[in-house]
Chains A and B, each alone.
Chain A
Amino acid sequence: MIRALTLLAAAFLLAACGNDAGEPPSRAPVDMAAWEAETVFHASGNPARLEDWGQFRIEDGRLVLAEGVVPYGLNTALFSDYALKLRTVWLPEGAAPAIWHDTETFDFPVGTVITKTFYYPRGGGGFETVALELDPNAHFDGAALDLSAVRVIETRILVRREEGWAAIPYVWNDNQRSTRLARAGAFVDLTLLEAGGRSGALSYQVPDVNQCAQCHVTNAADGQVRPIGPRARHLNGDYVYAHGEHNQLDHWREAGLLTGGPASAGAPRNAVWHGETTLSGMALEAAARAYIDINCAHCHSRTGHARTSGLYLEPSDPVGPAFGVCKPPIAAGRGTGNRRYSIVPGDSQASIFTFRMETVRPDAMMPELGRSRAHSEGVALVAAWIDAMAGGC
């Protein structure tokens, strides 16, 4: 009882002083009816709340997926300050299924809504204290997220409209039952509890709408925002649905979400990696390439924003000079870390690649957005891969 009161007081304090987005803190009473009962495709505009989309409802302290909303996971995922992510996809009644592509994002029909909800397990103590957890599905049972166990930070919507995809970010209010539109982004100050009882400050950044585009415009020539995750190689793995475990590509085809492409056994497939640091040989190579793919290649491709660097990190790119081997930097500035080449085979400590993954200075770190912490497991993975390479520069 006393603990609950303390938590409540802390929440109020936060509400009074937090909120970097310049919007008034939410003091409205929780209105459950505010969550739209039916899934809705908003063909234009920026609805004021996530509630307006009907993709979720709140029931018995749980965030429940609406009928027809399908959760999914990626074999290896983008690192976002250790946030866990609940990803969903929904196609309107009667819409044609998405069309298969071997390497690119599937071609989804108008009306598609993809959501990504960022959350942390609660760490005990104050509302701002959250826990580091590597299990990507913690507190999600395939149908609902247990809100008593987590702190939800934000939900991003990608909606496929007639004119293309739009990105719309929502920040969760401190009552954890309602949200607000946050086109200008926000900072959320957290304390992250790590293994061994250590804790550290974490300045979580909700991106603004233009920052969404920095990652999601994967082809700068057409300037179109696109989803990044829903590609064959990221989805080709098993997922634990409410009804049981199933290959995602097979499930999507059975559920009418996807059409075309080879059977999952013969389809492209990235390694499954959620933080293991003891890999070697082929498994190490596959995990490192999968990690670099999902964390770097949306910009570091021939069409992406980082094409200016001449560093190409897509899965089809050979590990040569254009992948960074003995490649001098172009416009890295402080990002060199006083190192001379992107990758020095056999020496991760001399490689710019790992320096830029480790640093948290905004002008030097990679990726440029989406983290205020180093992903120590990811750094260890890529470092091990570089250290295992033969040769030098």
Chain B
Amino acid sequence: MRAMWRAGLAAFSALIVLQACGQQSGETRDISDADREYQHVLMEALLDAAPGSVIEIPAGVFVIERGLSLANVDGVTIRGAGMDETILSFAGQRAGAEGLLVTSANNFTIEDLAIEDSIGDALKITGSENVIIRRVRTEWTRGASTDNGAYGIYPVLTTNVLIEESVAIGASDAGIYVGQSDNIIVRNNRAEYNVAGIEIENSMDADVYGNTATNNTGGILVFNMPNLPRPGHGTRVFDNDVFENNTRNFGHAGTPVANVPAGTGILVNSNDDVEIFNNRVARNRTANVIISSLHSAGFSELGVESDFDPYPERIHIHSNTFEGGGNNPDGMDLQALRIALFGPTGRIPDVLWDGYVDEAKMVDGTLPDDLRICVSGAEVLNADGPGGYGNPRIVTAEHDCSHAPRAAVELPF
């Protein structure tokens, strides 16, 4: 049995049933009266962009029928008149896997516009340095739905990335997702009604602060996945409001986030050097914080490259404010665990850990101090994944330790 994640056959069949029932919760923006001519102007502008070009997009709702792309040009700025004024609608998209794909474009800025209802990812930026995404809204206007595209704001393989004051709504994977990148600041954004609100994956040195993550399935995720060209570590998650991330999981079965339990506040999976502090974390019904390893994610060991390190290490959780949550965890296993340990009205403690430890690194039966999961100001439940969830127990005292504060991320712009 896999108590922690939704994986396994039971969760799988539950998902399929959910999908069969339909997922639509609202209506997509009606674009029948929107402008259809401007898209040609914008496509030409993107093709003709030269170093230093500023592409200004006026206020209005513009229908875009094929994926836009900008490639191999540095110093370009794309600027709208505001995230509620300049709207690129892909509701009638016929081709292209993204709304806007930006490839190998250093010193790139996009600001003050919205990308709505793309078939796939809304804004993907790949292989670029010095990227600023500011006051951009990515949204699927019908609300949470499995029919929505996967990612909202999606920089991957980037260096020096700033995402600020942006809004991501309705992504069927992650609203704001930074993958395989270095030196990252994600601040003062709002992520709502996504499967994952904000996700940092296989990335180095990220600061995630001042954000609001609510009504997602999981609020803020810090992940490492196997088989990628590079693992990541080193993330600070602080000063965020992470509350009521209780939306049922509407991810596509088979994706890693489809296994995240509804009601997850902050989730660290197989990642190291993560400092979580000064957050206000409230009323996430499975658990306010989950620390887990890939072992709990329900994947075949056959498909994991042997050099992958699945154990979360050097985690430091402190100075957060917790309220409620853990009262109605997603999935039968966790529900049974809650009732067995804490009674019918009890709740899962604020920090839920699957209990996997790298035994190869143990010295005299314990992990060196340097590698430990340290928690202060919150109760910790070890779910005993390695023991088949046979002996779940409160282990708060064992995690009474601390690590040196991580340094702030600094961007060169």
B residues lining the A interface (CB < 8 Å): 15-16, 19, 37, 40, 43-44, 46-47, 65-67, 69-72, 93-97, 101, 103-104, 118-121, 126-127, 149-151, 154, 156-157, 172-173, 177, 179-180, 225-229, 252-256, 299-300, 302-305
Contacts and interface: CB of A to CB of B under 8 A. Distances in A.
Contacts of A393: 300, 302-303
B69 to A, nearest CB: 4
Interface in A1-21: 20-21
A362 B95 contact: yes
A190 interface: no
Given A307-B229, A328-B256, A321 B303 contact: yes
Contacts of B255: 329, 331-333, 336
Contacts, number: 173
A332 B179 contact: no
A21 B39 CA distance: 10
A322 B305 contact: yes
Contact of A333 (B15, B70, B71, B173): B173
Contacts of B120: 333-334, 362-364
Given A208-B69, A362-B93, 8 more contacts: A321-B305, A326-B303, A329-B254, A329-B255, A333-B252, A334-B149, A365-B97, A368-B96
Contacts of A211: 67, 69, 96
A335 B121 CA distance: 12
A158 to B, nearest CB: 15
Contact of B151 (A331, A336, A341): A331
Contacts of A368: 96-97
Interface residues of A, number: 54
Contacts of A361: 119
A329 B150 CA distance: 13
A330 interface: yes
Contacts of B66: 185, 187, 205, 208
A220 B103 contact: yes
A214 B69 contact: yes
Contacts of B69: 208, 210-211, 214
Contacts of A375: none
Contacts of B95: 187, 203, 205, 362, 369, 372
A220 B157 CA distance: 11
Contacts of B96: 211, 362, 368-369
23 contacts: A184-B44, A184-B47, A208-B66, A214-B69, A307-B157, A308-B228, A321-B227, A322-B305, A326-B303, A328-B227, A328-B256, A329-B255, A333-B150, A333-B173, A338-B16, A339-B254, A362-B93, A362-B94, A362-B97, A363-B97, A363-B150, A369-B96, A393-B303
Nearest to A307: B229
Contacts of B252: 332-336, 338
Interface in A274-317: 302, 305, 307-308, 310-311
Given A308-B156, A362-B120, A336 B253 contact: yes
B303 A327 contact: yes
Interface string A214-233: 10010011010000000000
B94 A187 contact: yes
A65 interface: no
A308 to B, nearest CB: 5
Interface string A17-34: 000111000000000000
A250 to B, nearest CB: 36
A334 B140 CA distance: 15
A325 interface: yes
Contacts of B299: 328, 340
Nearest to A212: B71
A183 interface: yes
Given A308-B157, A329-B255, A210 B126 contact: no
Contacts of A340: 253-254, 299-300
Contacts of A334: 120, 149-150, 172, 252
A335 B150 CA distance: 9
Contacts of A338: 15-16, 19, 252-254
Interface of A: 20-22, 183-185, 187, 203, 205, 208-211, 213-214, 217, 220-221, 223, 302, 305, 307-308, 310-311, 321-322, 325-341, 352, 361-365, 368-369, 372, 393
9 A-B pairs with the lowest CB-CB distances in the bound complex, closest first: A333-B150, A363-B120, A326-B303, A336-B254, A210-B69, A326-B302, A338-B253, A22-B40, A393-B300
Given A184-B44, A362-B96, A330 B254 contact: no
Between B43, B118, B302, the greatest number of chain A beta carbons within 10 A of the residue's beta carbon is seen for: B302
A232 B104 CA distance: 28
B121 A333 contact: yes
Nearest to A324: B303
Contact of A209 (B47, B103, B300, B302): B47
A284 B150 CA distance: 34
A328 B126 contact: no
A336 B252 CA distance: 7
Given A208-B47, A210-B47, A308-B179, A333 B72 contact: no
Nearest to A309: B228
A339 B253 CA distance: 7
A321 B173 contact: no
B150 A321 contact: no
Contacts of B180: 308
A302 B156 CA distance: 15
Contact of B304 (A21, A185, A321, A329): A321
B303 A223 contact: no
B47 A220 contact: no
A358 B368 CA distance: 50
Given A307-B229, A333-B151, A363-B121, A217 B104 contact: yes
Nearest to A220: B127
A331 B228 contact: no
Between A203, A220, A221, A352, the greatest number of chain B beta carbons within 10 A of the residue's beta carbon is seen for: A220
B126 A308 contact: yes
Contacts of A205: 66, 94-95
B225 A214 contact: no
Contacts of A322: 227, 305
Contact of B149 (A22, A208, A363): A363
A331 B179 contact: yes
Contacts of A210: 46-47, 69-71, 103
A25 to B, nearest CB: 15
A332 B120 CA distance: 10
Contacts of B16: 338
A332 B173 CA distance: 9
B227 A352 contact: no
Nearest to B202: A330
Contacts of B156: 308, 331
Contacts of B71: 210, 213-214, 217, 223
Contacts of B119: 361-363
Contacts of A203: 94-95
